[in-house]
Structure 1
Amino acid sequence: MEHQLLCCEGEPIRRAYKDSNLINDRVLQTMLRSEENCLPSLSYFKCVQKEILPSMRKIVATWMLEVCAENLQMELLVLNKLKWDLASVTPHDFIEHFLSKLPIPNESKQIIRKHAQTFVALCATDVKFISNPPSMIAAGSMAAAVHGLHLGNSNNFLSYQPLTDFLSQIIKCDPDCLRACQEQIESLLETSLRQVQHNSISPETKTVEDELDLSCTPTDVRDVNL
């Protein structure tokens, strides 16, 4: 009898199980204290990372999110070259703590987690959020996710004002500051969506627009022979 191999199919990426012992108030308070030491200086790009301009942050962050996530070795090489320390507290560290305190079903937590993580990644591409502590970005992303999913319509606790007040009490910040951060995140999302829609214009429409732009070019410029 020929030997047969038994193939067990499973998830290609092996992930560690979440440790519930780490989702408690003691760990949360420790992260809130330590994030003050991890917050980069406002003059970071002028004094430390001089070769990366603030306008280039989106390009670098987007490239790292898309490419380096697929290659851990490449990610470590890039981080070492840029001298970026990822051992510090990040917004992703706070998301699970916030979700554990929300009185909602696990199904709702799963979709909120996914949307909040997307907002956090989006904030990493914009230099305007560099002065915000990770806890505020996480809380603003969480509030923006709940607001965008319209979960407050069926749950008063998740409505705009109660949720903002609740999250601001957890991270010990002013509710107005958190609300401003949330609005800034939502504005960033709208801008990103408009850019995606603009880039997805059909080739025919783009050709017509290019012709219109060309016709508006001054005659003396078009007649220049290079």
Structure 2
Amino acid sequence: MEITCIENAAVLHAEKDMNIFRDERVIPSLKERELTYLPHCNYFELQDDIQPYMRKVVTMWMLEVCEEQKCEDAVLPLAVNFMDRFLSVCVIKRQQLQLLGATCLLIASKLRSANRLGIELLCTYTDNSVSYEHIFSWELLVLSKLQWNLCAITGYDYVDQIIERCPWGNESSLLRRHSNTLVSICYTGNDDEIAFLTGGA
């Protein structure tokens, strides 16, 4: 008997439930729940060793990792959400920021990706400046500081809702792809790229 593997490398998505897109309560509910998962303060006032440009550098690195590893679109926004919430409750040193970013990518990929990012892979992306043991121990630290509240609502969760409600939403197959790209870039805080993509000055 011959056994043939016919698995496809492409990511498979569930069928759409059109009842969800017709229900007017969904978007207000998303907006209400999103408030629960936002940082509680401007953490740059709490952090004495981290500046906004450092966050931008780390989130751009996180975006590059996600792009190279072809992660699902939901992974980056969720990882950045975890990082921002963690920084609003726990003071760290600048040398630990990439470690935090790698740990948040690990957790988000476990939740939102069919193929999670491995710890060894993430260590490689840091040029081995972060060890397996560091990420392994920080995973529990991050989870505890977030009080295990991991089902955050991010900008990614609004994309399908908005596209399906627009009469022209399904006219272009690129619309969803471009929308998800814009969401990812917004989470990095890269103002120049956002302006370019939206046609701003």
Normalised to the residue count of structure 2, the TM-score between the two structures is: 0.50
Q: CA RMSD in A?
A: 3.8
Q: Does structure 1 retain, via aligned residues, the 8 Å contact 2:182–2:197?
A: no
User: Deviation at 1:80?
Assistant: 5.8
Aligned residues with identical type, % of pairs: 32
Whether 2:159 is the aligned partner of 1:92: answer no
Aligned with 1:65 (options 58, 63, 66): 63
**1: CA distance, partners of 2:25 / 2:185:** 29
Q: Does 1:75 align with 2:75?
A: no
TM-aligned CA deviation for residue 54 of structure 1: 0.9
User: Superposition pairs for residues 21-40 of structure 1, below 5 Å?
Assistant: 21-23=19-21, 24-40=23-39
- Greater fraction helix: 1
> How far off is 1:9 after superposition?
4.4
Once the two structures are superposed, what CA deviation does each residue of 1:47-95 show, in whole Å capped at 9, x if it has no partner?
2x55542111122112222325738886225776555665221111111
Which protein, 1 or 2, shows the higher relative CO under an 8 Å CA cutoff with sep ≥ 6?
2
Match of 1:122 in 2: 185
Contact 1:38 1:89 in 2 (8 A): yes
- Give the direction of change, closer, same or farther, for the CA distance of 1:190–1:35 in structure 2 (3 Å limit): same
User: Within 5 Å, which residues of 2 pair with 1:166-181?
Assistant: none
Runs of 4+ in 1 over 6 A off after TM superposition: 188-191
Structure 1 residues 42 and 34: CA distance shift in structure 2, 3 A: same
Residues 137-172 of structure 1 deviation map (CA, whole Å, 9 limit, x = unaligned): xxxxxxxxxxxxxxxxxxxxxxxxxxxxxxxxxxxx
Specify the SS of the correspondent of 2:31. helix
Counting only pairs closer than 5 Å after superposition, residues 1-226 of structure 1 correspond to structure 2 as 3-23=1-21, 24-41=23-40, 43-47=42-46, 50-67=48-65, 70=69, 75-76=106-107, 86-104=150-168, 106-108=170-172, 110-126=173-189, 185-187=194-196
The residue identity in structure 1 corresponding to 2:186 is C
- Cα contact 2:164–2:170 (8 A) shared by 1: no
Structure 1 residue matching 2:166: 3-state secondary structure? coil
Pick which of 63-72 and 96-105 moved more.
63-72
Q: In structure 1, what is the Cα distance between the partners aligned to 2:54 and 2:139?
A: 16
The 1-side partners of 2:58 and 2:9 are apart by 30
> TM-score scaled to structure 1, two decimals?
0.45
Paired AA for residue 8 in structure 2: G
Q: Tell me, what secondary structure is at the counterpart of 1:124?
A: helix
Query: Which AA in structure 2 matches 1:185?
Result: I
Report SS of the residue matched to 1:25.
coil
User: In structure 1, what residue type is equivalent to 2:65?
Assistant: V
Uncovered stretches (5+) of structure 2, i.e. residues with no partner: 76-102, 108-134
Shift of 1:29: 1.3
